[in-house]
C-alpha cells in the first residue's frame, strides 16, 4: 500500500473528484458507492479509474459494519446514514484494522482519509480516529453527540433504531448535546 489511502464516498465521485490525479496513492470505494453512480460521465470516469488500477473496489468486513452501526447509533447519527455511508465508514475501519495488524502502526496514526461531504459520516469517522476530507464544503472540526427527540411530544430518545416517535409517529429530530 502507498503512503496514504483515500476512500471515496459517492458525493466526491459524483461531484467530479478525479481519482486519476491521486495515482501515487491507494484509492478505494465500495460496491455500494458504484451502484449509486447514475451519471454516464461519472460512470465512465470511474470505469477508467478502475481499469487503470487507480481505484479499487472492496467490500467492508461484516464485523466492521456492526461496529460502525453501534457507534453511529450511540452518537445519534445512525438514522442519518445510508447503507452505503455505513459501508464506506466500515471499509475505512476494515483497512485501518488491517494496516494496524500488519504494520504495527498506532491505530490512530494509520494514514487513511475518507473523502466525503457528509457531516454524519465525518462525525462517526472521528470516533474511529479516521480523517475525513471534505470535497465541496467545510468539514466538521469536532465530534458532536446528538440527542434524538420528538418535536411534537418532546420525548427524548437516548438512541433509537427508528426514525419515528412511537407515540406520535412524527419524524424524530436531533440536537447537539455535547461537542468534543
Q: What is the pLDDT of residues 71-107, one digit of tens each?
A: 998 888 888 899 999 999 999 999 998 888 777 677 6
Q: Are residues 61 and 80 in the same domain?
A: yes
Q: What is the DSSP string of 106-129?
A: -GGG--EEEE---HHHHHHHHHTT
Q: Are residues 58 and 35 in the same domain?
A: yes
| pLDDT value of position 4 | 85
Q: Are residues 115 and 166 in the same domain?
A: no
Q: Are residues 47 and 129 in the same domain?
A: yes
pTM: 0.82
Residue 24: which CATH number?
A: 3.40.50.1010
Q: Are residues 15 and 82 in the same domain?
A: yes
Q: Rounded to whole angstroms, how far apart are CA atoms 73 and 81?
A: 10
Q: Are residues 113 and 160 in the same domain?
A: no
Reply yes or no on whether the pLDDT at 23 is more than 80: no
Tally of structural domains, the chain: 2
Between 162 and 76, where is the model more confident?
Answer: 76
**pLDDT for 96-144, tens place per residue?**
988 887 776 776 677 899 999 888 999 899 899 899 888 766 666 677 7
| pLDDT value of position 36 | 92
Asked if residue 16 is part of any domain, the answer here is yes
Q: Are residues 54 and 128 in the same domain?
A: yes
Q: Are residues 158 and 77 in the same domain?
A: no
Q: What is the mean pLDDT of the chain?
A: 85
User: Of 98, 114, 133, which residue constitutes the final position of a domain?
Assistant: 133
What domain range includes position 171? 144-179
Q: What are the Cα distances from residue 86, in Å, to 118, 141, 149?
A: 11, 20, 23
Reply yes or no on whether the pLDDT at 22 is more than 80: no
Please give the share of the chain, as a percent, with pLDDT higher than 70.
87
Q: Are residues 39 and 117 in the same domain?
A: yes
| pLDDT value of position 61 | 97
Amino acid at each position: 500500500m502507498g503512503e496514504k489511502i483515500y476512500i471515496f464516498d459517492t458525493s466526491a465521485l459524483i461531484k467530479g473528484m478525479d481519482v486519476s490525479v491521486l495515482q501515487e496513492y491507494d484509492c478505494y470505494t465500495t460496491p455500494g458507492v458504484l451502484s449509486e453512480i447514475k451519471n454516464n460521465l461519472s460512470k465512465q470516469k470511474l470505469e477508467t479509474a478502475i481499469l487503470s488500477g487507480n481505484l479499487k473496489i472492496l467490500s467492508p468486513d461484516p464485523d466492521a459494519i456492526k461496529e460502525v452501526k453501534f457507534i453511529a447509533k450511540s452518537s445519534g447519527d445512525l438514522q442519518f446514514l445510508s447503507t452505503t455511508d455505513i459501508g464506506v465508514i466500515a471499509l475505512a475501519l476494515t483497512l485501518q484494522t488491517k494496516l494496524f495488524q500488519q504494520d504495527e502502526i498506532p491505530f490512530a496514526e494509520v494514514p487513511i482519509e475518507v473523502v466525503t461531504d457528509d457531516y454524519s459520516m465525518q462525525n462517526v469517522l472521528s470516533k474511529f480516529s479516521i480523517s475525513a476530507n471534505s470535497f465541496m464544503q467545510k468539514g466538521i472540526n469536532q465530534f458532536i453527540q446528538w440527542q434524538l427527540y420528538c418535536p411534537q411530544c418532546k420525548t427524548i430518545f437516548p438512541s433509537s433504531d427508528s426514525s419515528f416517535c412511537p407515540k406520535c409517529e412524527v419524524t424524530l429530530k436531533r440536537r447537539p448535546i455535547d461537542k468534543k
